[in-house]
Amino acid sequence: MNRRKISILGATGSVGTSTLDLVERRSDRFEVIALTAASKVGELADAAIRTSAQLAVINDPALLPELQRRLHGSGCRAATGRDALTEAAAGEAELVMAAIVGCAGLEPVMSAIESGRTVALANKEALVTAGQLMIAAARRAGATILPVDSEHNAIFQCLADNRSCDVAKLVLTASGGPFRSRSREEMAAVTPEEAVAHPNWSMGAKISVDSATMMNKGLELIEAHHLFGVSSDRMEVLVHPQSVIHSMVEYVDGSVLAQLGSPDMRIPIAHALAWPERMETPALKLDLARIGSLSFEAPDLDRFPALRVAREAMEAGSAAPIILNAANEEAVAAFLARQIGFLDIIRTVEEALTRTSATPPHSIAEVIDIDRRARSMAKELMSEMAA
Ligand SMILES: NC(=O)c1ccc[n+]([C@@H]2O[C@H](COP(=O)([O-])OP(=O)(O)OC[C@H]3O[C@@H](n4cnc5c(N)ncnc54)[C@H](OP(=O)(O)O)[C@@H]3O)[C@@H](O)[C@H]2O)c1
């Protein structure tokens, strides 16, 4: 059997290392072409050597000499810069795991799509900011986008070969995050350590904070809108604290299909890696008798306004999702650096949406320009708050 050629963008992150875990278990099935990272040079070099990758790309140019030193004699080429990242995304690999966090992943994801690759997409911010452009580019280039986010992967599985006109609504489940039962007053004083301690999932810091504010679910609504072509009025969020049902599709006849599994990202990642086949994973098998009961509740938009703000940005369309995402990335980074409080995250995002003016983007360059302007607006707002 021919091995499937794969590149992993963001190979040192939470999704990236879970992907490596699966790929390394099945080296008979996958051949690693390229791996990339921002600054974890040691982990990148180790993974490149272990997997016999051809190319390792480090985002920070100052770390290139160290990467070259670590890879010396391994046969793996060390590189940095935009062209190298594009080569990793659109070079020899047939399958690209897009697992960079944030808008930084936008250009490489677009390169992979424009080159007609199969893209396993974890990097939701890319789709949130440039969904329309990406879906159109995928159609033109014949690229396939496979959702890795557990909710979207669940919906993708539940949609299977059903006709889209038979779908009544999509139901995205949400764990509710670590502050599901906290009051606004209590949330005002939470620390970054508390915010990243997700009850069910082990993830990178940014997405963990997004889960705590529930902005993550808002970004996922926008992601689902682009991936599945479903409008806001046909998408619902349902809080389900056990994270066993990863999302559902309701059909016009009243049937509801759900995808269930342990909360382990290796399950949706494996689905995307092996699609249209399946592959085994070391994830715990679901034991419903042990879990006993599943519970559900409606999201509280007063305590978690990010969900409302993100939905409004999706409905407004145009540049609003780009501004939402950029301001959120900046505010989350500032919260993690203890420069602002937890509730200031959504304040910054709402205010940035009001104060940043922009016209609808027609190219990735225009998306990046709006992203840049929204980031400086968010920074300005946060220094005003601190003053
Ligand atoms: N983690 C999850 O369970 C999960 C679930 C669903 C969706 N997602 C989505 O998947 C994406 C990755 O999430 P994660 O939790 O895996 O993030 P993470 O653990 O923070 O990892 C991010 C990866 O991207 C690299 N990176 C960061 N900034 C970069 C930049 N400016 N240029 C190039 N590379 C950069 C990092 O390199 P360094 O390690 O060197 O910093 C790392 O390899 C996010 O969009 C997230 O929303 C994650």
Task: Give the mean pLDDT per block of 10 residues along the chain (387 residues).
Answer: 94 98 98 98 98 98 98 98 97 97 95 98 97 98 98 98 96 97 97 94 94 98 98 98 98 98 98 97 97 98 98 97 98 98 98 96 97 98 91
Is the CB–ligand 1 distance for residue 99 below 6 Å? yes
Closest alpha carbon to 378 in 332, 331, 338, 346: 331
- CB of 9 within 8 A of CB of 88? yes
DSSP codes, 93-159: -SEEEE---SGGGHHHHHHHHHTT-EEEE--HHHHHHHHHHHHHHHHHHT-EEEE-SHHHHHHHHHH
Is the CB–ligand 1 distance for residue 322 below 6 Å? no
Is the CB–ligand 1 distance for residue 348 below 6 Å? no
Is the CB–ligand 1 distance for residue 12 below 6 Å? yes
CA distance 314 to 363: 18
CA 37 to ligand 1 centroid distance, Å? 9
The tokens of 285 are what? Answer: 């098998």
The tokens of 290 are what? Answer: 């042990």
Angle, CA 150 vertex, CA 34 and CA 249 arms, to 5°: 135
What integer pLDDT is reported at residue 75 of this predicted model? Answer: 97
CA distance 41 to 64: 8
The tokens of 384 are what? Answer: 């005003």
**Residue from 9, 12, 15, 129 to probe ligand 1 pocket by mutation (most atoms less than 8 Å from CB):** 15
CA 244 to ligand 1 centroid distance, Å? 23
Residue at token pair 């329309």: 132
Is the CB–ligand 1 distance for residue 13 below 6 Å? yes
Is the CB–ligand 1 distance for residue 218 below 6 Å? no
The one-letter amino acid code at 308 reads R
The pair phi, psi for residue 137, each rounded to 5°, is -65, -40
CA atoms within 13 A on the CB side of 157: 25
Is the CB–ligand 1 distance for residue 124 below 6 Å? yes
**CB neighbour class for 229 (10 Å; exposed up to 12, middle 13-18, buried from 19):** exposed
**Residue from 8, 109, 156, 207 to probe ligand 1 pocket by mutation (most atoms less than 8 Å from CB):** 207
What integer pLDDT is reported at residue 148 of this predicted model? Answer: 98
What integer pLDDT is reported at residue 386 of this predicted model? Answer: 84
What integer pLDDT is reported at residue 336 of this predicted model? Answer: 98
